[in-house]
């Protein structure tokens, strides 16, 4: 009987998530108030994806009281940015622990450094980047209508969030656009109309034809 022992070098045990699970990853990007959360809920319900929010995972880690959580909390308190690797490890762990192999990653990567680190650490490129494109006036209107009675406090904060999104996240969208991975959705329309466009992205080609 032949042997395959020497056919390839033995791999390190820390096999990447991409090799172990081969997950389908969709990045969901859009400015504050673009309706990402609502549409993520619709996608989960209709297409069986697991929703992962970087912010939620960081908050859960802090709440757990772990050593890692304390470190994250201290960094946030000091106004420091949590390193990409920390957030990515939390995302990676959540994917590994899930029984699913299809993931919506919401609000991440926030910038080019996040993007490069995610691909380097996990070995995964997104299959699609869903970009909810919504003009600033509409996003502002939506956010202010949520903030009952606190309009004056928040208008400046909201505009600052828009600026950060444009400066940090648009380069990520442009990078994936150059690779043909971006599906731009006009998110200024009513929720139902937006979801009709989203469905086209997630419906297999053979089903669209029928």
Q: Which residues are annotated as a binding site for CMP?
A: 114
State the binding site for ATP: 33-38, 146, 189
State the binding site: 33-38, 59, 80-82, 107-110, 114, 146, 150, 161, 189
Other beta carbons less than 10 A from residue 50's beta carbon:
16
- CB under 8 Å to 88, separation ≥6 — which residues? 114, 117, 118, 121, 122
Q: Which two tokens stand for residue 154?
A: 């928040």
Distance CA 87, CA 96 (A): 14
CA distances from 154 to 5, 7, 140, 149, 169 (A): 63, 62, 10, 10, 21
State the binding site for a ribonucleoside 5'-phosphate: 59, 80-82, 107-110, 150, 161
Distance CA 31, CA 140 (A): 10
Q: What angle do CA 89, 93, 95 make, to 5 degrees?
A: 120
Q: Are 172 and 126 in contact (CB under 8 A)?
A: no
Tokens 């106004």 locate to 79
């Amino acid at each position: 009987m032949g042997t395959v022992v020497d056919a390839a070098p033995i791999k390190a045990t820390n096999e990447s998530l991409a090799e172990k699970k081969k997950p389908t990853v969709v990045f969901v990007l859009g400015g504050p108030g673009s309706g990402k959360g609502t549409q993520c809920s619709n996608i989960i319900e209709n297409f069986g994806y697991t929703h992962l929010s970087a912010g939620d995972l960081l908050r859960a880690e802090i709440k757990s009281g772990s050593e890692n959580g304390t470190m994250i909390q201290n960094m946030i308190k000091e106004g420091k940015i949590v390193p990409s690797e920390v957030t990515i490890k939390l995302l990676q762990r959540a994917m590994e622990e899930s029984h699913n192999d299809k993931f919506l990653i919401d609000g991440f990567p926030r910038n080019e450094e996040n993007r490069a680190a995610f691909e380097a650490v996990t070995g995964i490129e997104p299959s699609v980047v869903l970009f909810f494109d919504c003009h600033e006036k509409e996003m502002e209107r939506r956010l202010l209508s949520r903030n009952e009675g606190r309009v004056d406090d928040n208008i400046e904060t909201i505009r600052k969030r828009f600026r950060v999104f444009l400066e940090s996240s648009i380069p990520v969208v442009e990078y994936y656009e150059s690779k043909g991975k971006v599906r731009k959705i006009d998110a200024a329309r009513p929720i139902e109309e937006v979801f009709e466009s989203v469905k086209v992205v997630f419906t297999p080609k053979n089903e669209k034809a029928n």
